[in-house]
Structure 1
Amino acid sequence: MRIYQAEDYKAMSRRAANIISAQVIYKPDCVLGLATGGTPVGIYQQLVQWFKKGDLSFAETKSVNLDEYVGLSPHHEQSYRYFMQSNLFDHIDIKPENTHVLNGLAKDAAEECAAYNRLIRGLGGIDLQLLGMGHNGHIAFNEPGDDFGLETHVVNLTESTIAANARFFASADEVPRHALSMGIKNIMNARRILIVVSGEEKADIVCQAFTGHVTKEVPASILQLHPDVTLVGDKAALHKLVEAGVSVCG
């Protein structure tokens, strides 16, 4: 695992965006696994800026997103399809038919999940998977205790995840209780993984995930077993790793 410590959120976003842009330049028709949430926003803003400058093109790139809320339409302002359109897809030259997000309104959730697994395999797998990490160590919506062998599946969201996402809704009561999510197996099958973390509130779980045992109770800990993982974080998120003696690059 390579670990890069950035001075702040802006520097972290630029460093992570550099890794993604290098992947796209090296392999223009690559498959990017994309994430939502507050942490990746700065990354997407940087990628859009480079695209607008003419430094980067996504014309041949394909994408698959990690997850989507059950019950939200693609046009709902809190759906992850809407997030991706607003923060990235509408501002770059990626072809709409090459962007893939799970359908939260699917009548048969199990078949939607199975079809997504087939889609990923049909694309040849994920070249680079972008991840964030939740306060309880979840990646995508794989919550503590979930089976590491799962592929895309229906998730019952924990109260801590619902509480963390409530800031995006008018009230906690409006946060969906279920989601469709890639499983740990999908994520671990990606050729490369880029995980980004920011803020003091992530420092404890980051240290636990990457210095402790691999355990289902901290889903991100499984990344210790992947052969090509890069962790990019700001000083606030990584300082406990540094204090624990873990080597980081500036």
Structure 2
Amino acid sequence: MEIIILPDSDAIGDLAGDAVTALLDRKPGAVLGLATGSSPLPVYDNLAARYDAGDVSFAQARAFTLDEYVGLDAGHPERYANVIHKEFTSRVDFEPGSVQGPNGLATDIPAACQSYEEAIHAAGGVDLQILGIGTDGHIAFNEPGSSLASRTRIKTLTRQTRIDNARFFDDDLDQVPTQCLTQGLATIMEARHIVLVATGQNKAEAVHQLAEGGVSALWPATILQHHPHVSVLVDEAAAGRLQLANYYRQTYAAKPVWQGL
């Protein structure tokens, strides 16, 4: 796990944008994993700007989203299929049908989850997965207590996650769904490269546990300590609890340029 402390969200977006662009340069048909939420937005803004400048194309790429609320109408603006379309995929040149997410409106939820796992496998697996992290250490919607071996499934959201997400629902907690479909921790761990983005002081404890805590279902993101290629991009505020922050800075400053992320 590589911890990179950057000055602000623009710098985070630029470095993550470099990684995605480099991947698509060498593998135009790469498979991307896309997260929703506020943390990845600087990455998507950076990639959209690169597309506008003619520096990157997604025309041959595919993408899979991490999760979806259960029961939100197809046209609901906070349905994650609509959010990722608005925030990113409609701003670049993905081909129609090349971006897929879990079906939160399925009548047979277990079958829909199994089908989603099979679709990711059929596409060859995810080459680069973009992640955020919750204040309680969740990744995707794998809440504290999630099995470290979990696959795509239905989950009940914690009250804290619903409170955190209420800002997207007019600050009305009652509007926030209580259940979701989410890729499991084992599903996420199969991505070949994971880029996790965290900004703000409210993420500092989660980032500390992620990088320096013990691997535990109480902090689901800690499973990433067992992944061979994880890049954690944080701003100074999110790095505020890191005990080895100076070492991470020194390590990144000495990193050979050719390594990239």
The bucket for the TM-score relative to the shorter chain is over 0.9
SS at match of 2:22: helix
Note if contact 2:198-2:238 (Cα within 8 Å) is conserved in structure 1. Answer: yes
> Runs (4+) of structure 1 moved beyond 2 Å?
242-246
Equivalence for 2:66:
66
Query: 1:239, CA displacement in angstroms?
Result: 2.9
SS at match of 2:237: helix
Equivalence for 2:178:
177
Query: 1:25, CA displacement in angstroms?
Result: 1.5
How big is each residue's C-alpha offset from its partner over 1:156-212, in whole Å with a ceiling of 9 and x where there is no partner?
000000000001002110000000000001101111111000001111121122101
Cα RMSD, aligned residues only: 1.2
Equivalence for 2:214:
213
Say how many residue pairs are matched. Answer: 250
How big is each residue's C-alpha offset from its partner over 1:80-99, in whole Å with a ceiling of 9 and x where there is no partner?
11111101111111112111
What is the identity, as a one-letter code, of the residue corresponding to 1:173? D
How big is each residue's C-alpha offset from its partner over 1:115-151, in whole Å with a ceiling of 9 and x where there is no partner?
0000011011111111100000000000111111111
Query: 1:246, CA displacement in angstroms?
Result: 4.5
How big is each residue's C-alpha offset from its partner over 1:31-87, in whole Å with a ceiling of 9 and x where there is no partner?
001100011111111101110110000000000000000011332100111111101
Equivalence for 1:17:
17
With the length of structure 1 as denominator, give the TM-score of the two structures.
0.97
Note if contact 1:74-1:80 (Cα within 8 Å) is conserved in structure 2. Answer: no
SS at match of 2:238: helix
2: CA distance, partners of 1:13 / 1:89? 16
1: CA distance, partners of 2:78 / 2:163? 15
2: CA distance, partners of 1:123 / 1:14? 27
Is residue 87 from structure 1 mapped to residue 87 from structure 2 by the alignment?
yes
SS at match of 1:240: coil
70-79 vs 32-41, greater mean Cα deviation: 70-79
Is residue 145 from structure 1 mapped to residue 149 from structure 2 by the alignment?
no
1: CA distance, partners of 2:57 / 2:118? 27
SS at match of 2:64: strand
What is the identity, as a one-letter code, of the residue corresponding to 1:216? A
Equivalence for 1:40:
40
Equivalence for 1:192:
193
Note if contact 1:142-1:155 (Cα within 8 Å) is conserved in structure 2. Answer: yes
2: CA distance, partners of 1:181 / 1:167? 20
CA 1:207–1:246 in structure 2 vs 1: closer, same or farther (change >3 Å)?
farther
Q: Please, which runs of 5 or more residues in structure 2 have no aligned partner?
A: 254-261
SS at match of 2:84: helix
How big is each residue's C-alpha offset from its partner over 1:91-115, in whole Å with a ceiling of 9 and x where there is no partner?
1111121110111111111111010
2: CA distance, partners of 1:204 / 1:158? 18
Q: Please, which runs of 5 or more residues in structure 1 have no aligned partner?
A: none
Is residue 162 from structure 1 mapped to residue 138 from structure 2 by the alignment?
no
Note if contact 1:142-1:181 (Cα within 8 Å) is conserved in structure 2. Answer: yes
Is residue 230 from structure 1 mapped to residue 231 from structure 2 by the alignment?
yes
- Within-5 A mapping of 1:237-248: 237-241=238-242, 246-248=247-249
Note if contact 1:73-1:104 (Cα within 8 Å) is conserved in structure 2. Answer: no
